Structure 1
Amino acid sequence: MRTSLIAAALALSAFAGAASAQSATYNLDPSHTFPRFSYSHFGLSTQQSRFNNTTGTVTFDKAAKTGAVDVVIDMKAVDTGFTPFNGHIQGEDFLDTAKFPTATFKSTKVVFDGDKPASVDGNLTIKGVTKPVTLKIVNFVTTVHPMMKKDVIGAEATTTIKRTDFGAGKFAPYVGDDVTITIALEAIKQ
């Protein structure tokens, strides 16, 4: 009886280990992860900027069709392409980085289409204001990194928000209220 209990326990623990082995956590690669944002500038042009410092994790289980995303964006690392404007956009009327140095995105649900995630629902927090958003995934790849020889995820996702919803609406509607956010990321399995 005791031998069969031990065998059953070993079999159960082996099954549990195999079931949980599918889920993996990936750390964002800060040298290849850049949230970008674009908006209309007086209808004259579409301005494009990015944030140069982003950290976080992606959890992915292809078999169970589950996942999670947790991202922190350093708002002081905004890069508009024009150094004096980087400081201007960090001011109180826009990003207010003195009071709110980071923005976050925390997923609440990942929606799959077949074996790949198609969208991620979650909460975006900018300037202390949290709003639900859906990121549409336009590209998703899992593979082995050719140089690091580790499993890696590559993805690109996009959403559009209203900056007035986040208390950053100065000059709207002349400077566009709609802001398209696109995040290109690479994440390495830990």
Structure 2
Amino acid sequence: MKHIAKLAAVLAVSAAAATPVLAAPQTYTIDSTHTFPSFSYSHFGMSTQISKFDKTTGTVTLDKEAKTGAVDITIDMKSVNTGYETFNEHIQEADFFDTANYPTATFKSTKVNFEGDKPVSIEGDLTIKGVTKPVTLQVTHFANMPHPMMKKDAIGANATTVVKRSEFNAGKYAPNVGDEVTISISLEAIQN
């Protein structure tokens, strides 16, 4: 009987050792010095104007084994950088961003879609000027590797989506100034 009990204990320990350890979701904090949302639109059909925001915070959660993730981003709308100080102030007025009442915009994911080991699209809710609309970011680049300088696990990604600014109560001068706006984000985040 003692031999059977010992054999059972050995088998139980062996089975536990052979069971693969499931990876837990990892949380990454956005590196605000390397994360810049930008937006582009047609200006009277003459050119495509490109502007960006200089201050972004948030987190990304990634579970590589389960192929799930989450993205939570906050953009400081007052940090808009059009390349021209006067327009930086103008675009913050009530007809456009209305930063006095809505100083931030947010994106909160509802689902991250994977192909193989990489996310290819991120569904979520975009809130601008207090208006929330569902959008899907198409991931055009994704990397997950040790950061060469910080020696921590890091992720990097580029993603893009198209929205109509009029749907966010920011449609002044449309359609002369394009209603369709391409939002792109270059993101880097470091594991906590």
TM-score normalised per structure 1: 0.91
Corresponding residue for 1:94? 96
For 1:2-151, what aligned pairs fall within 5 Å after superposition? 18-19=21-22, 21-151=23-153
Aligned-partner SS, 2:163? strand
Amino acid at match of 2:138: K
Aligned-partner SS, 1:85? helix
* 2:132 is aligned with 1:162: no
Aligned-partner SS, 2:167? helix
**1:11-59 CA distance string (max 9 Å, x none):** 6xxx79x42x431000000000000000000001100000000000000
TM-score normalised per structure 2: 0.90
Between the two proteins, the alignment pairs up a number of residues equal to: 182
Aligned-partner SS, 1:165? helix
Aligned-partner SS, 1:87? helix
Following TM superposition, where does structure 1 have runs of at least 4 consecutive aligned residues deviating by more than 6 angstroms? none
RMSD of equivalent CA atoms: 2.0
What is the distance in 2 between the residues matched to 1:107 and 1:69? 5
Q: How far off is 1:95 after superposition? A: 0.2
Tell me the percent identity. 65
Aligned-partner SS, 2:90? helix
Unpaired runs of 5+ in structure 2?
Answer: none
What is the distance in 1 between the residues matched to 2:112 and 2:142? 13
Amino acid at match of 1:87: E
Amino acid at match of 1:180: T
What is the distance in 1 between the residues matched to 2:163 and 2:142? 22
